[in-house]
Amino acid sequence: MGLKSDPRHQARKIALATIFCWVFQEGDNKDFELLSKELLECGQADFKLVEIITEGVETNNSKIDKIIQDNATDWPLEKVSKIDLVILRIAVFELLKLGDIPMKVVVDEAVELAKEFGSDSSSKFVNGVLGSIVDNLENLSL
C-alpha cells in the first residue's frame, strides 16, 4: 500500500491538522479532530492512532518542546515554523512513547509530512532535528 493511502499515514495527517488547530486557537480538541477529519477526507485513517498522538502530544507538550529545543540548538522554538514544530512534536512523541513503531518509520513519516505540508527546507530541518534526537534517544524520556 502506498504511503499516501496508508491508514497510519492518514492518521498522522489528521493528528497534524488537529494539533495545528490548537496551536492557534483554544477550544475542544475533539472539535478540531472532527474538523480535520472532514477537511482531509481520510476515511481509511487509523482513528485510534489519531487519538493516541493528539492526546499524547497535548499531555507531554512541554517535555516534547524541551527535547526539540535541546536538539535544534540553532533555532529557538518561536523561530521554528509552526507546521515543522507540530511535525516534530508528533515524531518525538512517537519515538519516545510508541515503541511498536520503528524509528526509521517515524523519521520517514515526519519527513514525508514536512514535504507535503512544510516549506522547501522543512524536510531537511525535520530530518536533521530528528537525527539528533535519535542519536540521543537512550537519554530521553517523556
Number of compact structural domains in the chain: 1
Average pLDDT along the chain = 86
Residues 57, 93 contacting (CB under 8 angstroms) = yes
Instruction: List the domain range (segments joined by +) for residue 122.
Output: 3-137
Does 23 map to a domain?
Answer: yes
Give 47's pLDDT tier (boundaries 50, 70, 90). confident
Structure pTM? 0.86
Does 20 map to a domain?
Answer: yes
Give the separation between CA 70 and CA 140, rounded to whole angstroms: 11
CA triple 125-15-17, angle to 5 deg: 75
Give 38's pLDDT tier (boundaries 50, 70, 90). low
The cell numbers describing 9, all together, are: 499515514
Lowest mean pLDDT, pick from 15-19, 27-31, 80-84: 27-31
Does 9 map to a domain?
Answer: yes
Give the separation between CA 84 and CA 72, rounded to whole angstroms: 12
- Interval 84-99: pLDDT, tens: 999 999 999 999 999 8
Predicted local distance difference test score (pLDDT) of residue 1: 39
119 pLDDT more than 70? yes
CA triple 17-137-79, angle to 5 deg: 45
Does 31 map to a domain?
Answer: yes
CATH number at residue 108: 1.10.940.10
Closest by Cα among 70, 73, 112 to 90: 112
Does 142 map to a domain?
Answer: no
Predicted local distance difference test score (pLDDT) of residue 31: 57
